[in-house]
Amino acid sequence: MEANIKQVSAVLNPPAPHMVGDGFRVHNFFPKGHKLKMSPFFLLDYNSKIEFSARNEPRGVGVHPHRGFETVTIAYHGAVAHHDSAGNSGIIQPGDVQWMTAASGILHKEHHEEMFSKKGGPFQMVQLWVNLPAKDKMSKPKYQALCHGSIARHQLEHGTVEVIAGEYLGTKGSASTFTPIHVYNLRLNKNGKAPFSFPSGYNTAFVVIEGKIRVNDKEEAKTDQLVHFKNEGEQIQIEALEDSTVLILSGEPINEPIAQYGPFLMNKPEEIQQAIADYNQGKFGYLEE
Ligand code: MN
């Protein structure tokens, strides 16, 4: 039987980085850096590995709002401390994932964790913005802290698939999501192979966090590159040319209009106006700087 291969559409380099606050030096792969069809994923900020010097006062980004989507923070090196106006706080260590549903509105702040800041060292993170369907945009905010040890795992012959959300070969992901989404961290040893299958309607991309891979026996991608796939076809094969860590994203698009302004992601311009008004009136709650 002829395999139904999902072909690579492009292997992309990280766009020039910019700072978010003074703690995150990120490459925006989309929507600004590259125009990619990636709904329900709206934004991907990639903090490639960078060495931060020791500092007593943690670097980061101060209190700011979000409405209409979810922020998903995935740590690879270094640690982030998080606080929000719903009273949640936590520390995101390497391998951990924080899945925050901003939905109707939240204030939060994100800084380097104190001990990490005092010591300094390598720092590498991903932050994704996952859109919400219109019917869920004004639902209640929530917070899922997924520590590395609790994330569902599928053991491969030469590696592991950490199933953050969705499902991989029967292993169900740890995070609950509003629309069908697969998010995995693939850890694959050199020469190891891993098969993936996603419906043709889903938007799919891989980010090589570390190492070097070959996709579908053809295209190669190395650390910091993003592999974007065509919609047609379903099956993908990855082979590790070095010990590799790969972030894998695939999801069913949300086919609804988008209105975005800064940290607000809604469907209509009026809803953006409402978000700004609500924020100015203090309806997102309170959080100390
Ligand atoms: Mn934020």
Instruction: Please write the tens of the pLDDT for every residue from 25-40.
Output: 999 999 999 999 999 9
Distance 240 CA to ligand 1 centre (A): 33
Distance 66 CA to ligand 1 centre (A): 7
Overall domain count for the chain: 1
Q: Is residue 285 part of a domain?
A: no
Q: Is residue 286 part of a domain?
A: no
Classified as helix, coil or strand, 220 is strand
Q: Is residue 81 part of a domain?
A: yes
Distance 262 CA to ligand 1 centre (A): 10
What are the helix (H) ranges across 68-202? 114-119
Distance 65 CA to ligand 1 centre (A): 7
* pLDDT tens-digit readout, 103-113: 999 999 999 99
Distance 44 CA to ligand 1 centre (A): 12
Q: Is residue 66 part of a domain?
A: yes
Residue 289 has pLDDT above 90, yes or no: no
Distance 108 CA to ligand 1 centre (A): 6
Q: Is residue 200 part of a domain?
A: yes
Residue 3 has pLDDT above 90, yes or no: no
Distance 267 CA to ligand 1 centre (A): 20
Distance 197 CA to ligand 1 centre (A): 31
Q: Is residue 208 part of a domain?
A: yes
Contact of 95 with 66, CB cutoff 8 Å: no
Q: Is residue 174 part of a domain?
A: yes
Known binding-site residue numbers: 64, 66, 108, 110
Q: Give the pLDDT band (50/70/90) at residue 53.
A: very high
Distance 238 CA to ligand 1 centre (A): 32
Range of the domain at 190: 2-280
- As a whole number, the mean pLDDT across the chain is 97
Q: What is the dihedral of CA 103, 108, 112, 118, to 10 degrees?
A: -160
Distance 71 CA to ligand 1 centre (A): 7
Distance 176 CA to ligand 1 centre (A): 20
Q: Give the pLDDT band (50/70/90) at residue 125.
A: very high
pLDDT for 231: 97
CATH number for 169: 2.60.120.10
* pLDDT tens-digit readout, 228-258: 999 999 999 999 999 999 999 999 999 999 9
Distance 141 CA to ligand 1 centre (A): 13
Residue 79 has pLDDT above 80, yes or no: yes
User: CA–CA separation, 206 vs 34, rounded Å?
Assistant: 14
User: CA–CA separation, 211 vs 205, rounded Å?
Assistant: 16
Q: Is residue 217 part of a domain?
A: yes
Q: How far is CA 211 from the centre of its chain?
A: 19
Q: What is the pTM of this model?
A: 0.97
Distance 265 CA to ligand 1 centre (A): 12
Distances (CA, A) of 126 to 259, 269, 276: 23, 28, 27
Distance 70 CA to ligand 1 centre (A): 10
Distance 102 CA to ligand 1 centre (A): 9
Known binding-site residue numbers for Fe cation: 64, 66, 108, 110
User: Average of pLDDT values for 54-70?
Assistant: 97
* pLDDT tens-digit readout, 86-100: 999 999 999 999 999
Classified as helix, coil or strand, 277 is helix
Distance 201 CA to ligand 1 centre (A): 29
Contact of 84 with 38, CB cutoff 8 Å: no
